[in-house]
Structure 1
Amino acid sequence: MIFATRDEVKRAIQSHAIAERRSVAFTKIEKRRLYARCKEPNCESKINAVKMKDDTAFQREVRGFRKEIMRELNVSVSKDQAYRAKRRALERISGDPVYQYSRFWDYVHELRKSNPGTTVVLGVETDDEESVFDRIYVCYGALKEGFSVGCRPIIGVDGCHLKGIYAGVLLTAVGIDPNNNLFSIAFAVVSRENGETWRWFLTLLKKDLRIGGDKQVTFMSDKQKGLIQAFDVVFP
């Protein structure tokens, strides 16, 4: 399992312990590692988490998985075998990437058919005459209309890195409805975050919301990478 922070690991372990009605002790909490064990009589359960190299996530060590297999099945498992098993498990969970991405056109068609007025833009790159997924932008028709007729003229934009095995960056635009609640407007998944992808996202958003002329809005952001330069181009 992968966790964003060390505190998230601790909360997950504590929640599991409560659900199982067991006491847990954290035997070591360091900057890069976390160790915990079961305190119940005759319980030898342990869990280790380590901050992965060149990554901000904490992940249960493959070594712990190997020990568990050896204990339960009484067989020896090499590190390479453990990594291959982990890779196959992730493939089973996430699906075959070639098949998944080949279904994008069906997804786009279904969105347009079932959500009138929805804007869906799918971007691909050509690799040896084969189309490879690069980006997708979605703005549902109902949300587009809802922002125009009921939301305040302020839009927050942000981007965050996706932690799945396919990576990428999620770009989002949200508004504020009359009850001061967040109101989703549009989102996009792109391969990287830079000035070009933000310009692409903001250009589509500007067209969908018909921003300009008499219709003015205020944008709020934390100055994501390339965002200020993109605003200078799309909203001079």
Structure 2
Amino acid sequence: MTIVCTIEDCPWKIIARAIGDSNIVQVHTFRNLHNHCLEDVALSQPLVRSTRASLVIDDIIRSTPEYQPRKICKDFVRQYGNQLTYLQASKLKEKAKERIYGQPKNYHKLLPWMCERMLATNLGSSVELSYSDDGHFEQFFVAHSISIEGFVRGCRPIIAIDSVHMSEPYGGVLFSTTAYDASDSMFPLAFEVMSSENYEDWLWFLEKLKIVVGNKEVIII
């Protein structure tokens, strides 16, 4: 455990460690020297270390993934007396998500398992996953069996396709395919995640979508 002064660059510091499995803590380093006046302390905000502070919101992130940084700022002031900036709160949330879900760079490793489970538990679904020759993720297509059946039996022959660039650490493009049911309400049919958006990606997406649609003649908008 390390405790430092709230004033940046101040040398005051305490370092302590637990003795074995006991509740006793032994101080190893105590540097009892400040290089500022008391007024600086009164005007400063307590130092918040994001790695440790993220532990406080782990349970909240698990139950409420949409917990927003602005709400984190307000809750920290009310509960702990710490004033966080929006950027600090955002980093706090990201560290908590990494503790719960793992690092984003490892998410793609779960895709083969996810595909296998979706096909095993949703018979009739269309799930496709592709990688480049050097093993990097390229395309991921999903159309659940219930969506395919609902489209064939109860939707109008009109399909709307849209795409949006994602802002996660590794970016990519999300494609969505939506149909319209008998009450003119939107009906989700399929989606695809791709590493980029080019002619080859569009062609791959439309080929997979054609398999889902089958022999039904449709209008794409």
- Does the pair score TM above 0.5? yes
Cα distance in structure 1, aligned partners of 2:97 and 2:122:
32
Query: Which residues in structure 2 correspond to 1:1-236 (within 5 Å)?
Result: 91-92=98-99, 95-127=102-134, 131-211=135-215, 215-220=216-221
Cα distance in structure 1, aligned partners of 2:194 and 2:174:
7
Cα distance in structure 1, aligned partners of 2:93 and 2:150:
44
Give me the CA root mean square deviation.
Answer: 3.4
**Displacement, 1:132?**
2.3
TM-score by length of 2: 0.56
Cα distance in structure 1, aligned partners of 2:189 and 2:121:
17
Residue identity matched to 1:107 = M
**Displacement, 1:179?**
1.3
Give 3-state SS (helix, strand or coil) of 2:196's partner.
coil
Aligned length: 147
Map Cα deviations across residues 132-168 of structure 1 (whole Å, 9 max, x no partner).
2221000111111110111000000010011222211
Indicate how the Cα distance of structure 1 residues 111 and 90 shifts in structure 2: closer, same or farther if over 3 A, else same. closer
Give 3-state SS (helix, strand or coil) of 1:153's partner.
strand
Identity fraction in percent: 34
Cα distance in structure 1, aligned partners of 2:202 and 2:122:
25
Cα distance in structure 2, aligned partners of 1:85 and 1:155:
40
**Any stretches of 5+ residues in structure 1 without a counterpart?**
1-43, 45-59, 74-83, 221-236
**Displacement, 1:85?**
7.9
Cα distance in structure 2, aligned partners of 1:114 and 1:87:
31
Cα distance in structure 2, aligned partners of 1:86 and 1:116:
36
Cα distance in structure 1, aligned partners of 2:94 and 2:138:
23
Which residue does 1:33 correspond to in 2?
Answer: none
Cα distance in structure 1, aligned partners of 2:150 and 2:92:
47
Residue identity matched to 2:173 = V
TM-score by length of 1: 0.52
Cα distance in structure 1, aligned partners of 2:205 and 2:112:
20
Residue identity matched to 1:179 = S
Give 3-state SS (helix, strand or coil) of 1:152's partner.
strand
Indicate how the Cα distance of structure 1 residues 176 and 93 shifts in structure 2: closer, same or farther if over 3 A, else same. same
Residue identity matched to 1:106 = W
**Any stretches of 5+ residues in structure 2 without a counterpart?**
1-44, 46-68, 83-90
Indicate how the Cα distance of structure 1 residues 86 and 216 shifts in structure 2: closer, same or farther if over 3 A, else same. closer
**Displacement, 1:87?**
7.4
